[in-house]
């Protein structure tokens, strides 16, 4: 088979979460997939495609950001240090009503995509309004995405009449399904307190018809059940279960206040979960019971949430915080080890999102989504184990990013878009707001 891209002499971590390193190693890519990997002694000798010298660099699967609101880069730092309800209703919702339009969504999503790629994120699950512009920006920038059109029972950007929210989501699915190999369309029902029961049922019926995921914020705050207009059970998760919304194609985001009975339901229904520890800490929402989720073998991914509530789209920071916060209460230094977190940020996140087998790992036939990390940094020496990727590495250590077999970041330069133009456009939008 023809080799289009060959990486040589790297240190290879093919399955994050397992400490197996191959060094020196090669990675051969054909088209959009990994053709073969292995020690340099087995490296192909005849290659007509591009070569990358990986000496001094660690190669691993790209990171999977399980939850993001990309256009909210415009609101980064705009409303800090507030409770979730105040943050949303007094600041974010009014700002969105005033400033969100197609231009803002497109350029701010481009900025988010560039930030994520530069930080080693090769796949992101995003949910927002005017998501067509997000998908377009992501496809142009070269990041793989599960892009979900937002559904909410209030007037929203692009959907002035809430009665048209499901129709708008359907149009988005029809526009993007099968259109681009980097884009998987989906639906994002904002939450059980911003969507009526009927809207939730219609959203789930739509995703079942088109066989795409349904994302929903749930159990993010302690008093969320009291904000639901017509609750059908004692907790938000049991409310969703009573509606019949939970199955393998539903991804529940946050789940901070999920109790044991809720977790048992999530496990039984095989729903995916994405936790966003930094956003939850910043908004003082709480800490998701990650260890209890993993003990029940729930598919759990890790997400940054939007830049307005984090304020960074850095999965290395997210991994570090996710591991450490689980150790605090009860005091258990081995609660969720670094290797488990690293798996959540790669293959585990891909599984939680329902992506096909092979995502989040490097093996023959896997999608060629990978990153090269500069291991010759002072804070990564000595490199005793991949745990350093969780506790010491940062986004700035990523040198090269490959998505779907294409080099999109090389020597920390974005090859697909003009990053300076993108930042300039977003700055001008911020001045207007």
The pLDDT tens digits for 46-96 are 777 899 999 999 999 999 999 999 999 999 998 898 888 898 889 888 888
DSSP letter (8 states) at residue 360: T
Calculate mean pLDDT across residues 35-49.
Answer: 91
14 and 122 housed in the same domain: no
Q: For position 382, which CATH number holds?
A: 2.30.40.10
- Residue 79: per-residue pLDDT: 86
- Look at residue 423 and tell me if it is in a domain: no
> Per-residue pLDDT for 433 more than 70?
no
> Per-residue pLDDT for 264 more than 90?
yes
The pLDDT tens digits for 113-151 are 999 999 999 999 999 999 999 999 999 999 999 999 999
Cα separation, 367 vs 357, in Å, equals 9
Phi, psi of 12 (to 5 degrees): -110, 125
Q: For position 170, which CATH number holds?
A: 3.20.20.140
50 and 127 housed in the same domain: no
- Residue 309: per-residue pLDDT: 92
78 and 57 housed in the same domain: no
19 and 30 housed in the same domain: yes
Q: DSSP assignment of 317-329, as one string?
A: HHHHHHHHHTTTT
- Look at residue 430 and tell me if it is in a domain: no
Cα separation, 102 vs 140, in Å, equals 16
Calculate mean pLDDT across residues 257-275.
Answer: 98
53 and 107 housed in the same domain: no
326 and 395 housed in the same domain: no
> Per-residue pLDDT for 1 more than 80?
no
330 and 392 housed in the same domain: no
- Look at residue 360 and tell me if it is in a domain: no
Q: Tell me which residue range forms the domain holding 296.
A: 63-352
pLDDT band (50, 70, 90) for residue 267: very high
> Per-residue pLDDT for 396 more than 80?
yes
> Per-residue pLDDT for 167 more than 80?
yes
131 and 183 housed in the same domain: yes
Give the chain's domain count: 2
162 and 281 housed in the same domain: yes
Cα separation, 406 vs 62, in Å, equals 13
143 and 54 housed in the same domain: no
Whether the CA torsion 77, 284, 276, 238 is positive or negative: it is: negative
Of 87-91, 261-265, 408-412, the range with the lowest mean pLDDT is 87-91
Residue with tokens 């029961």: 197
- Look at residue 119 and tell me if it is in a domain: yes
DSSP letter (8 states) at residue 150: E
- Look at residue 357 and tell me if it is in a domain: no
50 and 195 housed in the same domain: no
pTM of the full structure = 0.97
**Final residue belonging to a domain, choices 352, 382, 397:** 352
392 and 344 housed in the same domain: no
CA neighbor of 219 nearest in space, from 236, 241, 194: 236
- Residue 125: per-residue pLDDT: 98
Cα separation, 83 vs 389, in Å, equals 31
pLDDT band (50, 70, 90) for residue 357: confident
Cα separation, 318 vs 279, in Å, equals 9
Percent of the chain exceeding pLDDT 70 equals 100
What phi-psi label fits residue 219: left (phi over 0), alpha (psi between -120 and 50 degrees) or beta? left
| Mean per-residue pLDDT of the chain | 96
- Look at residue 316 and tell me if it is in a domain: yes
């Amino acid at each position: 088979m023809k080799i289009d891209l060959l990486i040589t002499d790297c240190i290879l971590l093919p399955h994050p979460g397992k400490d197996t390193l191959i060094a020196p190693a090669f990675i051969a890519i054909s088209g959009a997939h990994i053709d073969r990997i292995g020690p340099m002694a087995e490296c192909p000798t005849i290659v007509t495609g591009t070569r990358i010298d990986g000496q001094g660099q660690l190669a691993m699967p790209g990171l999977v950001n399980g939850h993001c609101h990309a256009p909210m880069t415009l609101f980064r730092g705009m409303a800090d240090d507030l409770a979730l309800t105040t943050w949303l209703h007094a600041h974010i919702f009014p700002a969105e009503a005033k400033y969100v339009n197609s231009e803002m969504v497109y350029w701010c999503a481009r900025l988010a995509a560039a930030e994520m790629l530069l930080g080693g994120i090769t796949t992101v699950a995003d949910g927002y309004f005017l998501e067509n512009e997000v998908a377009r920006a992501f496809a142009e920038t070269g990041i793989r995405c599960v892009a979900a059109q937002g559904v909410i029972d209030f007037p929203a950007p692009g959907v002035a009449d809430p009665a048209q929210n499901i129709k708008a989501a359907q149009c988005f699915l029809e526009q993007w399904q099968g259109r681009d190999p980097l884009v998987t369309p989906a639906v994002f029902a904002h939450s059980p307190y911003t969507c009526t029961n009927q809207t939730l049922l219609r959203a789930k019926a739509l995703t079942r018809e088109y066989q795409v995921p349904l994302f929903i914020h749930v159990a993010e705050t302690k008093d969320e059940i009291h904000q639901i207009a017509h609750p059908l059970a004692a907790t938000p998760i049991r409310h969703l279960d009573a509606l019949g919304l939970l199955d393998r194609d539903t991804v529940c985001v946050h789940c901070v206040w999920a109790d044991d009975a809720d977790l048992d339901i999530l496990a039984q229904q095989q729903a995916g979960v994405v936790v966003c520890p930094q956003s939850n800490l910043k908004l003082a929402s709480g800490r998701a019971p990650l260890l209890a989720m993993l003990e029940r073998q729930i598919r759990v991914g890790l997400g940054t949430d939007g830049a307005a509530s984090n304020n960074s789209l850095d999965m290395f920071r997210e991994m570090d915080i996710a591991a450490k916060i689980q150790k605090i209460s009860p005091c258990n230094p081995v609660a969720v080890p670094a290797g488990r977190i690293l798996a959540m940020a790669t293959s585990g996140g891909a599984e939680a999102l329902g992506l096909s087998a092979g995502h989040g790992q490097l093996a023959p036939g896997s999608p060629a989504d990978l990153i090269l990390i500069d291991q010759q940094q002072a804070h990564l020496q000595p490199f005793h184990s991949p745990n350093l990727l969780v506790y010491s590495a940062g986004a700035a250590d990523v040198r090269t990013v490959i998505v779907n077999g294409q080099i999109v970041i090389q020597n920390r330069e974005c090859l697909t878009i003009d990053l300076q133009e993108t930042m300039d456009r977003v700055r001008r939008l911020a001045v207007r707001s």
